[in-house]
Amino acid sequence: MTTTETDYSNIEIRKKLALRVTDELWQLYPDAECTLDHIYEPWKLLVSGILAAQCTDARVNLITPGLFSRYPTINDLADADTAELEEIIRSCGFYRVKASSITRSMQMLVSDFKGTVPAELEDLLKLPGVGRKIANLVLGDSYGIPGIVVDTHCARVSGRIGFTDSSDPVRIEKDLVSVIPENRWIGYGHRVVAHGRALCKARNPSCDLCSLREYCRKGREEIGAGK
């Protein structure tokens, strides 16, 4: 690719790069999907998303079987004993805040949304403990509604590629939406998570092994440096 073809400040060029990058990501990780369990049950995915803040998905997936066995419905969790709930989720960190967010969100689902998880972004954002990341996750994986989940992997990989220069998740989401085809919004998030874990790690990314190097701003810097 020429220098002109990798002018990351040009929106049209970024769109062309996004097509190449997403093609490659789909080749690399054809089966990538949400790493939280319960994606087909919106309220359980919502709870899992709240638990996943500052916690690994693997840890959350260890907690949720017992949690949902003890509280098998939205109403059960809305009426949960605070101390008992906190003890069940203690190992995922920030358990007091998360327990409060979970019970209050479930109570709001009962009182305001007839006991179901809404399929509108604006409504999801009204729920305690739910930001755009969790809302887009639920919309995409439970309802198939396009959205890009910006977590730490997505922010890091997307910035290195050259799709964004922001560290603000909302700005990053807007930058990505502007260049990535809508039919790949949901899958993009899962695939950059997979890529971030496999090669594009926070420390010492394996640019020499990465097939995205040709299209990636950081990768091209590494190529220019002879690495």
Query: What is the pLDDT at residue 163?
Result: 96
Three-state SS string over the chain comes to CCCHHHCCCCHHHHHHHHHHHHHHHHHHCCCCCCCCCCCCCHHHHHHHHHHCCCCCHHHHHHHHHHHHHHCCCHHHHHCCCHHHHHHHHHHHCCHHHHHHHHHHHHHHHHHHCCCCCCCCHHHHCCCCCCCHHHHHHHHHHHHCCCCCCCCHHHHHHHHHHCCCCCCCHHHHHHHHHCCCCHHHHHHHHHHHHHHHHHCCCCCCCCHHHCCCCCCCHHHHHHHHCCC
Would you state the pLDDT for residue 9?
Answer: 85
Tens digit of pLDDT for each residue in 39-67?
889 999 999 999 999 999 999 999 999 99
From the options 1.25.40.10, 3.50.50.60, 1.10.340.30, 3.30.465.10, give the CATH code of 42-143: 1.10.340.30
Q: Is the pLDDT of residue 29 over 80?
A: yes
pLDDT, one tens digit per residue, over 81-124 is 999 999 999 999 999 999 999 999 999 999 999 999 999 999 99
Domain ranges of the chain: 4-31+148-224, 42-143
pTM exceeds cut of 0.95: no
Could you read off the pLDDT of 124-155 as tens digits, one per residue? 999 999 999 999 999 999 999 999 999 999 99
Q: Does the pLDDT at position 170 exceed 90?
A: yes
Assigned CATH for 4-31+148-224: 1.10.1670.10
Mean pLDDT estimate for the chain: 94
